[in-house]
């Protein structure tokens, strides 16, 4: 009998949850998690608290290293997948190793995206995705008294809160062209602006970012409309762009993420996508949505694993907590938590 | 592969078959441009030679270096799965055009003048390419063009920020300077009749292109504020810029859609979105095109199709319906289905429907399709009407510029054959001894060089359109040229001298050298396959699989008995009877 080998690409919250769920469903199966990073699995949503000094680094890691041995889940770090052949049931690693699978879960997550108009300034912009990024934030913040936050994703408000906690002056650029929901709601924007202002953030509404440069005293000067702002640091939070370019030749339907059905299936038998990289049509919205946020990631990871194991569980989301960011509907309720 | 010490010009079918498989970039080019040779010339700092190699095949290197659809790059061996990214072949073509000696030698006639005349209707890429070849073949050529300027879609369909008019004009003039009688402002069916042309000329070639916009066939299409992409670009390029509103929706996924979207921003639109039936991943335009459009502020929205244009004679909104892509079909394109009940509405001040176009019906003879389009025999370009030929987009529907040039050149060859009773050009495979590659293996790992673009961004929106892609500097072009494997090099093992030490297999960077039990050949004698074996007693030969070989030369360098040789194999075109000049 052919050995069951489930591979999960990605060791973020969704991928790890999928692996643990799979182990429960398939006690005898071989389970492998492939991660392109060297880092341990961590909780990305807690990074702002780590920056704020509210938690220690060890609190970022939800699993003890022995967890994986105990569950007989094989972790392979620093493994970059370069291609997946859904029909043949194998994938290729960049050192030319071929891995065969009987089931695959794509939980590749994303990397911080910077909208194309801002790419020329990216060297002056800090993003926050990994523990290493968070440590860099901590280091930079030591000599900084003010920060400009650009972008409206889940992390942006949590970081703004962390910065306020550290006593930093926080500017928040609200710019419908660049980072706010594409077809945004003025009422929602007003509410969010009010909430930010009440929290002590200086909101710069409807500003058009003209350029960034670093001046002689190491500060960053930001041109917004006719105004020039001088800040110690600029953080950008435009959400995560699913890291799926390596799948371009694999035959998956891809848009911003990997298009999946309501069961998170990619259209290929035994291959599911979950977390930040899965994009599914939502009848209530009449649009495709992606799910971001820790709880959503765990939920989708669990559903993908259950379905791979033979169940038929639908991924559901409540309509009220869905917003549109850069053309994609995202499932989260972040702003009310500020 | 036959080899001799002196260069030979082979016309053997097996050698053409070899070229097809082993120099994939050249084979992918509709006009069979000798890509490795012109890239090598860039490396050797001979941009003029590089330009001239291009000129022999594609006639408009400066133009194509900017707007070619780059079929060569998608076949470049450097882009194979484990080998990285394709060479930026098109940018190197442009570099050749940018840095060449401006004095291009005048082309000489292939044959003495022939007392036959040909009328070409349409001065687009296909018509101009045909005019070029016919003129060089000694025929008298008149080109009749409905518009004021020659160039067809090159002039009227492509914005100046992508293709500067000075570049276009220079290369078109080089063609027209071959003694071609260019007559602008003459429209077939209005100013002249086809019957009249057939009476006055020995042959007539219809190369009128596709200027009939494809309709959306949805309610509201005729409202004010709704343009066809073609009309939008033609108005703009004719000096009559269309008025656009603040919010523009462009329907379509091709270069025209992107040109319209980027032009709309330059005309003052504030919010421009390209609406796709499929996804960004399925776009046929280049990655650079998508990036630059986004950088300028164009949004790309996917998985939607327009259902109704709403308004009261004036455009107000567009109702869309969501789509769902299926798995790729046999042609690689995904089937699209609409999702029932997924309708939604977007506001819009301007809609540009850039969903393609077809040929315009020509009110003429009986020999045509019910739509009024003249039909031709595939390959001969000959219509059922004596002396009447047709080529280019008019026959095939919208294609790429390089395909249109190829069609024009082939049609010209067919006309020359009909006029003179013989062919005047032929393809040959030139095989010559050469030295092994001087490319160090490290060049295989050079990253691709992105092309510099116009900065700061606001300069792009200047009242006088400025070219966005700036092209490589000379040094950058030479660096990028180093990445080419030079697939026109052919490595071969002389198995009579081979001692089967297998050192070559050990040093090969990929599985390109194989121990084989037997080989198979096609009816032309070209090797089409082999049966590999790892059982020593079954080994009857050792071969270099040139379709896998990356021409690193490592095998040749390590061979202890010098049984591996290298030759340069090039597919060329030569005038018949002047073989010594090929």
For residue A7, give the nearest of A32, A41, A30 by alpha carbon.
Answer: A32
Final residue of a structural domain among A236, A268, A289:
A236
pLDDT of residue A327: 54
| CATH fold of B489-581 | Alpha-Beta Plaits (3.30.70)
Higher confidence at residue A71 or residue A96?
A71
Percent of chain B with pLDDT over 90: 66
pLDDT of residue B565: 92
pLDDT of residue B1: 52
Nearest-angstrom CA–CA distance, B307 and B344 = 10
B80 close to A (CB below 8 A): no
pLDDT at B243 over 90: yes
* Cβ pair A117:B295 closer than 8 A: yes
For residue B306, give the nearest of B223, B241, B363, B430 by alpha carbon.
Answer: B223
pLDDT of residue A175: 65
**Within-domain flag for A107:** yes
* Same-domain status, A228 and A301: no
Residue A4 and residue A29 in contact, taking contact as beta carbons nearer than 8 Å: yes
Task: Report how many helices (DSSP H) and strands (DSSP E) chain A contains, helices first.
Answer: 7, 22
Tokens of B37: 């040779």
Q: Hey, which residues 446-475 in chain B have their CB within 8 Å of chain A?
A: 455-457
pLDDT of residue B366: 55
ipTM summary value: 0.79
What per-residue string of b and e applies to B315-349 under the rule 16 or more CB within 10 Å gives b?
bbbbbbbbbbbeeeeeeeebebebbeebeeebebb
Q: What is the pLDDT of residues A258-316, one digit of tens each?
A: 999 989 999 999 999 998 899 888 777 788 877 767 888 899 999 999 999 999 999 87
Percent of chain B with pLDDT over 70: 95
Nearest-angstrom CA–CA distance, B494 and B504 = 13
pLDDT at B156 over 80: yes
What is the least distance, in Å, from the CA of A225 to any CA of chain B? 13
A93 close to B (CB below 8 A): no
Residue B320 and residue B343 in contact, taking contact as beta carbons nearer than 8 Å: yes
Which pLDDT band, with edges at 50, 70 and 90, does B109 fall under? low
Nearest-angstrom CA–CA distance, B52 and B54 = 5
* Cβ pair B82:A96 closer than 8 A: yes
Residues composing chain B: 582
**B510: Cβ–Cβ under 8 A, 6 or more apart, which residues?**
B82, B548, B550
Mean pLDDT value of segment B307-316: 92
Nearest-angstrom CA–CA distance, B414 and B419 = 9
pLDDT of residue A182: 37
Residues of A in contact with B450 (CB under 8 A): none
pLDDT at B364 over 70: no
Asked if B119-183+192-211+359-427 and B489-581 have one fold, the answer is no
For residue B18, give the nearest of B574, B437, B569 by alpha carbon.
Answer: B569
The average confidence (pLDDT) of chain A is 86
The tally of domains found in chain A comes to 2
Tell me the sheet residues that pair with A112: A240
pLDDT of residue A117: 82
pLDDT of residue A322: 54
Tokens of B571: 């597919």
**Within-domain flag for A28:** yes
Lowest-confidence segment of A326-335, B359-368, B461-470 by average pLDDT: A326-335
Task: Name the residue among B334, B343, B455 with its Cβ closest to that of A120.
Answer: B455
pLDDT at B489 over 50: yes
**Within-domain flag for A303:** yes
Tokens of B172: 């078109």
Nearest-angstrom CA–CA distance, A176 and A325 = 10
pLDDT of residue A289: 79
Which pLDDT band, with edges at 50, 70 and 90, does A177 fall under? very low
Tokens of B489: 């090099």
Nearest-angstrom CA–CA distance, B40 and B435 = 14
**Within-domain flag for A331:** no
Maximum Cα–Cα distance for chain B, whole Å?
84
Tokens of B300: 């790309």
Residue with tokens 């506001």: B347
A83 close to B (CB below 8 A): yes
Task: Name the residue among A248, A251, A283 with its Cβ closest to that of B341.
Answer: A283
Task: Name the residue among B297, B327, B343 with its Cβ closest to that of A251.
Answer: B327
pLDDT at A181 over 60: no
Which pLDDT band, with edges at 50, 70 and 90, does B334 fall under? confident
DSSP code per residue over B7-44: -EEE--HHHHHHHHHH-HHHHHSTT---HHHHHHHHHT
Which pLDDT band, with edges at 50, 70 and 90, does B578 fall under? very low
* Cβ pair B300:A327 closer than 8 A: yes
What is the least distance, in Å, from the CA of B460 to any CA of chain A? 13
Q: Domain B8-105+428-457+464-481: state its class.
A: mainly alpha
Final residue of a structural domain among A236, A263, A295:
A236
For residue B152, give the nearest of B68, B94, B237, B215 by alpha carbon.
Answer: B237
* Same-domain status, A247 and A189: no
Mean pLDDT value of segment B379-395: 88
Q: How many CB pairs under 8 A join A and B?
A: 64
Nearest-angstrom CA–CA distance, B154 and B133 = 19
For B213-355, the fitting CATH number among 3.50.50.60, 3.30.1360.10, 3.40.30.10, 3.90.1580.10 is 3.50.50.60
What per-residue string of b and e applies to A15-31 under the rule 16 or more CB within 10 Å gives b?
bbbbbbbbbeebeebeb
DSSP code per residue over B340-390: TT--EEEE-SEEEE---EEPPP----S-B-TTSPBP--TTT-B-SSTTEEE
A319 close to B (CB below 8 A): no
Final residue of a structural domain among A236, A265, A300:
A236
The average confidence (pLDDT) of chain B is 90
CA distances, B495 to each of A73, B540, B561, B565 (Å): 51, 9, 11, 11
CA distances, B407 to each of B205, B347, B397 (Å): 11, 42, 12
Residue A55 and residue A72 in contact, taking contact as beta carbons nearer than 8 Å: no
B221 close to A (CB below 8 A): no
Lowest-confidence segment of A55-59, B181-185, B430-434 by average pLDDT: B430-434
**Within-domain flag for A332:** no
What is the least distance, in Å, from the CA of A153 to any CA of chain B? 18
* Same-domain status, A21 and A35: yes
Which pLDDT band, with edges at 50, 70 and 90, does A167 fall under? very high
How many Cβ atoms are within 10 Å of B423's Cβ, its own excluded?
12
Q: Exposed/middle/buried for A329, CB within 10 Å: 0-12, 13-18, 19+?
A: buried
Mean pLDDT value of segment B82-99: 94
pLDDT at A325 over 90: no
Lowest-confidence segment of A72-76, A92-96, B1-5, B412-416 by average pLDDT: B1-5
CATH of the domain at A268: 3.50.50.60
Q: Which residue of B has its CA nearest to A285?
A: B342
Mean pLDDT value of segment B530-546: 89
pLDDT at B275 over 90: yes
* Cβ pair A281:B322 closer than 8 A: yes
pTM: 0.85
Tokens of B49: 């030679």
For B119-183+192-211+359-427, the fitting CATH number among 3.50.50.60, 3.30.2350.10, 3.40.50.620, 3.40.50.300 is 3.50.50.60
Query: Torsions phi, psi of A334, nearest 5?
Result: -60, -45
Higher confidence at residue B485 or residue A210?
B485
A287 close to B (CB below 8 A): yes
Segments making up each domain of chain B, as ranges: 8-105+428-457+464-481, 119-183+192-211+359-427, 213-355, 489-581
* Same-domain status, A94 and A141: no
Q: What is the pLDDT of residues B29-49, one digit of tens each?
A: 999 999 999 999 999 999 999
Reported in sequence order, the residue ranges of B156-313 that DSSP labels E, i.e. its strands, are 181-184, 203-206, 212-213, 226-228, 247-251, 271-275, 299-301, 304-311
B246 close to A (CB below 8 A): no
Tokens of B382: 């000959």
pLDDT of residue A153: 73
* Cβ pair B325:A248 closer than 8 A: no
- Is A152 in a helix, a strand, or coil? coil
* Same-domain status, A128 and A195: yes
Nearest-angstrom CA–CA distance, A21 and A15 = 10
pLDDT at B537 over 80: yes
Higher confidence at residue A167 or residue A337?
A167
pLDDT of residue B257: 96
pLDDT at B368 over 70: no
Q: For residue A87, what are the domain limits?
A: 5-111+240-321
pLDDT of residue B152: 95
What is the least distance, in Å, from the CA of A287 to any CA of chain B? 7
């Amino acid at each position: 009998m052919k050995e069951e080998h489930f591979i999960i690409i990605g060791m973020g919250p969704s991928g790890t949850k999928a692996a643990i769920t799979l182990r429960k469903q398939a006690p005898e199966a071989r389970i492998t998690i492939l991660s392109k990073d060297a880092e341990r699995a961590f909780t990305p949503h807690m990074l702002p608290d780590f920056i704020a000094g509210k938690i220690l680094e060890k609190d970022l890691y939800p699993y003890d290293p022995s967890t994986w041995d105990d569950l007989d889940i094989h972790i392979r770090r620093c493994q970059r997948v370069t291609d997946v052949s859904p029909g043949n049931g194998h994938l290729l690693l960049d050192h030319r190793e071929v891995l065969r699978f009987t089931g695959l879960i794509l939980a590749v997550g994303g990397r911080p995206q910077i909208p194309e108009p801002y790419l020329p300034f990216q060297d002056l912009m800090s993003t926050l995705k990994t523990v290493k990024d968070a440590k860099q934030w901590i280091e930079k913040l030591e000599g900084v008294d003010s920060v400009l936050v650009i972008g409206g994703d889940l992390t942006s408000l949590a970081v703004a809160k962390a910065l306020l906690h550290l006593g930093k002056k926080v500017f928040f650029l609200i710019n419908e062209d660049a980072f706010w929901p594409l077809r945004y709601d003025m009422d929602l924007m007003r509410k969010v602006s009010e909430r930010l202002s009440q929290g002590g953030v200086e909101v710069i509404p409807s500003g058009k970012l003209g350029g960034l440069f670093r001046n002689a005293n190491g500060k960053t000067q930001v041109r917004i409309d006719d105004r020039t702002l001088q800040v110690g640091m600029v953080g950008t939070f435009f959400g995560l762009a699913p890291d799926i370019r390596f799948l371009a030749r694999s035959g998956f339907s891809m848009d911003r993420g990997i298009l999946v059905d309501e069961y998170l299936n990619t259209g290929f038998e035994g291959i599911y996508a979950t977390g930040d990289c899965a994009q599914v049509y939502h009848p209530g919205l009449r649009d495709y949505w992606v799910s971001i946020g820790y709880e959503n990631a765990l939920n989708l990871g669990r559903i993908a694993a259950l379905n791979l194991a033979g169940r038929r569980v639908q991924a559901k989301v409540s309509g009220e907590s869905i917003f549109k960011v850069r053309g994609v509907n995202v499932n989260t309720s972040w702003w009310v938590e500020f | 592969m036959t080899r001799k010490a002196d260069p030979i010009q082979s016309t053997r079918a097996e050698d053409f078959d070899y070229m097809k498989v082993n120099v994939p970039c050249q084979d992918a080019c509709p006009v069979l441009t000798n890509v490795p040779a012109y890239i090598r010339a860039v490396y050797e700092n001979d941009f003029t030679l590089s330009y001239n190699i291009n000129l022999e095949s594609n006639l408009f290197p400066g133009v194509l270096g900017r707007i070619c659809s780059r079929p060569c790059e998608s076949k470049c061996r450097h882009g194979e799965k484990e080998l990285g990214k394709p060479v930026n072949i098109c940018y190197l073509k442009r570099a050749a055009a940018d840095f060449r000696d401006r004095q291009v030698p005048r082309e000489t006639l292939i044959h003495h003048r022939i007392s036959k005349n040909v009328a070409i209707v349409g001065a687009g890429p296909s018509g101009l390419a045909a005019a070029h070849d016919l003129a060089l073949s000694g025929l008298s050529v008149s080109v009749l063009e409905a518009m004021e300027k020659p160039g067809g879609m090159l002039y009227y369909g492509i914005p100046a920020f992508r293709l500067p008019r000075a570049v276009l004009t220079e290369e078109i003039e080089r063609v027209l300077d071959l003694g071609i009688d260019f007559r602008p402002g003459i429209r077939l069916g209005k100013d002249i009749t086809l019957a009249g042309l057939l009476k006055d000329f020995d042959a007539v070639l219809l190369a009128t292109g596709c200027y009939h916009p494809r309709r959306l066939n949805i309610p509201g299409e005729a409202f004010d504020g709704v343009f066809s992409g073609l009309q939008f670009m033609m108005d703009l390029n004719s000096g009559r810029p269309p008025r656009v509103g603040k919010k523009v929706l462009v329907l379509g996924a091709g270069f025209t859609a992107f040109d319209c979207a980027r032009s709309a921003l330059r005309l003052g639109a504030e919010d421009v979105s390209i609406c796709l039936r499929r996804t960004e991943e399925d776009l046929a335009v280049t990655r650079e095109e998508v990036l630059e459009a986004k950088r300028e502020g164009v949004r790309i929205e996917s998985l939607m199709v327009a259902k109704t244009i709403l308004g009261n004679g004036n455009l107000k909104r567009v109702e869309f319906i969501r789509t769902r892509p299926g798995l790729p079909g046999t042609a690689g394109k995904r089937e699209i289905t609409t999702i029932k009940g997924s309708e939604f509405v977007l506001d819009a001040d301007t809609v540009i429907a850039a969903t393609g176009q077809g040929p315009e019906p020509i009110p003429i003879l009986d020999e045509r399709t019910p739509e009024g389009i003249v039909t031709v025999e595939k390959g001969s370009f000959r219509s059922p009407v004596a002396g009447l030929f047709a080529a280019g987009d008019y026959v095939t529907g919208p294609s790429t510029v390089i395909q249109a040039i190829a069609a024009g050149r082939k049609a010209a060859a067919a006309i020359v054959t009909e006029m003179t009773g013989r062919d005047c050009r032929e393809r040959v495979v030139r095989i010559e001894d050469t030295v092994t590659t001087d490319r160090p293996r490290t060049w295989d790992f050079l990253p691709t060089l992105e092309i510099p673009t116009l900065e700061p961004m606001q300069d792009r929106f200047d009242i006088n359109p400025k070219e966005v892609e700036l092209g490589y500097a000379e040094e950058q072009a030479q660096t990028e040229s180093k990445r080419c494997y030079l697939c026109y090099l052919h490595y071969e093992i002389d198995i009579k001298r081979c001692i089967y030490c297998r050192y070559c297999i050990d040093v090969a960077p990929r599985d390109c050298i194989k121990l084989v039990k037997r080989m198979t050949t096609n009816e032309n004698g070209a090797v089409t396959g082999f049966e590999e074996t790892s059982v020593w007693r079954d080994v009857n030969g050792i071969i270099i699989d040139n379709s896998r070989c990356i021409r690193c030369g490592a095998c040749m360098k390590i061979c202890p008995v010098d049984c591996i040789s290298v030759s340069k194999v090039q597919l060329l075109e030569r005038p018949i009877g002047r073989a010594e000049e090929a």
